[in-house]
Amino acid sequence: MAQPQAADNASQLDIRPLTGALGCEIFGVDLANLDETTWTAIYQAFLDYSVVVFRDQELDEKSFQQLGLRFGKLEEEPFVPNKTDTPGVYYFKGAGGTKKLSSQNLGWHMDHSYQKNPSLGAMLYALDVPRTGGDTLFSSHYVSYEYLSEPMKAFLADKIAIHDVLQYGIDSGHFAIAKVAALEGLVKMREKFPQVEHPLICTHPETGRKMLYINKAWATAIKGLNPRESKAILTMLKEHSLDDRFQCRVRWYNKSVLIWDNRCVQHSPNVDYEEPRSMLRVAMHSDWIPS
């Protein structure tokens, strides 16, 4: 398996890989007080490993925002309702108990691929997390591409996937379409979020690595194929992209910071917990159009 290779300017950091596919923890860093050399090394590790975890960080809303702004512009979140008083920073909350959490069980996805410019990445800061459960899983687009057969890579080279947040909402049961008000809401959402098209094989704009650009949640069809063909190939690709060999798992503790490169991973937040869960969240904007 191709393993992430840390660049020279990241060698000063205490970097500990999570798996052979992706992910690392970085120790000995104070994210609230970064010099430019340390920040450059952290950003390189972000590109090398796609998922980066820090422990025991002392951050408030403002310092968390400032960390996000190092990546660039922060995004407004269309489906995260709990804004803080700090622009771009949101509360990310989960109430305890399986029934209360059922509507939040989004499963595997990458953020905002139903838009022309999906997010560059996202950050979470754990304020108060359950003693057990609630891990976040990630799967690498890079490695899932590398494990495709050469004939499949050739077949997918010019294929376009349609990404549709509404279709996923209907299929998953997140929208109660039996109610007229819900249907009217879907019409408004369609006006705001039309279907978008992204290639199934993309090249990361910074690393230059090829990847299988698939989203289990919102990739709903392959352009130009009939429905039966499209469903069969998408089902295979979604299953393939989440192979255990392509994954890492992040365990949560209070004061942990998690940063991921949304351009080259899918993630899944486990809802196997019963205690309240509170985090801060920011999403970083990218002008990149997948290609």
Q: pLDDT band for position 94 (50/70/90)? A: confident
Q: Examine residue 155 and state whether it is found in any structural domain, yes or no.
A: yes
Q: Examine residue 158 and state whether it is found in any structural domain, yes or no.
A: yes
Q: Examine residue 291 and state whether it is found in any structural domain, yes or no.
A: no
Whether 226 shows a pLDDT value over 70: the answer reads yes
Q: Examine residue 216 and state whether it is found in any structural domain, yes or no.
A: yes
User: What pTM value is reported for the model?
Assistant: 0.90
Whether 1 shows a pLDDT value over 50: the answer reads no
Q: Are residues 117 and 154 in the same domain?
A: no
Q: Are residues 208 and 259 in the same domain?
A: no
What pLDDT does residue 167 have? 77
Burial (0-12, 13-18, 19+ Cβ within 10 Å), 14: exposed
Q: Is 16 in a helix, a strand, or coil?
A: strand
The parent domain of residue 233 ranges over 141-241
Q: Examine residue 102 and state whether it is found in any structural domain, yes or no.
A: no
Whether 4 shows a pLDDT value over 60: the answer reads no
Q: pLDDT band for position 3 (50/70/90)? A: very low
Q: How far is CA 39 from the centre of its chain?
A: 21
**Residue 42: CATH number of its domain:** 3.60.130.10
Q: Are residues 16 and 124 in the same domain?
A: yes
What pLDDT does residue 2 have? 43
Q: Are residues 14 and 121 in the same domain?
A: yes
Share of the chain above pLDDT 90, in %: 73
SS (H, E, C) the chain: CCCCCCCHHHCCCEEEECCCCCCEEEECCCCCCCCHHHHHHHHHHHHHHCEEEECCCCCCHHHHHHHHHCCCCECCCCCCCCECCCCCCEEEEECCCHHHHHHHCCCCECCCCCCCCCCCEEEEEEEECCCCCCCEEEEEHHHHHHCCCHHHHHHHCCCEEEECHHHHHHHHCCCCCCCHHHHHHHHHHHHHCCCEEEECEEECCCCCCEEECCCCCCEEEECCCCHHHHHHHHHHHHHHHCCHHHEEEECCCCCCEEEEECCCEEEEECCCCCCCEEEEEEEECCCCCCC
pLDDT in tens, 132-154: 999 999 999 999 999 999 999 99
What pLDDT does residue 101 have? 44
Q: Are residues 167 and 226 in the same domain?
A: yes
Q: Are residues 260 and 125 in the same domain?
A: yes
pLDDT in tens, 233-267: 999 999 999 999 999 999 999 999 999 999 999 99
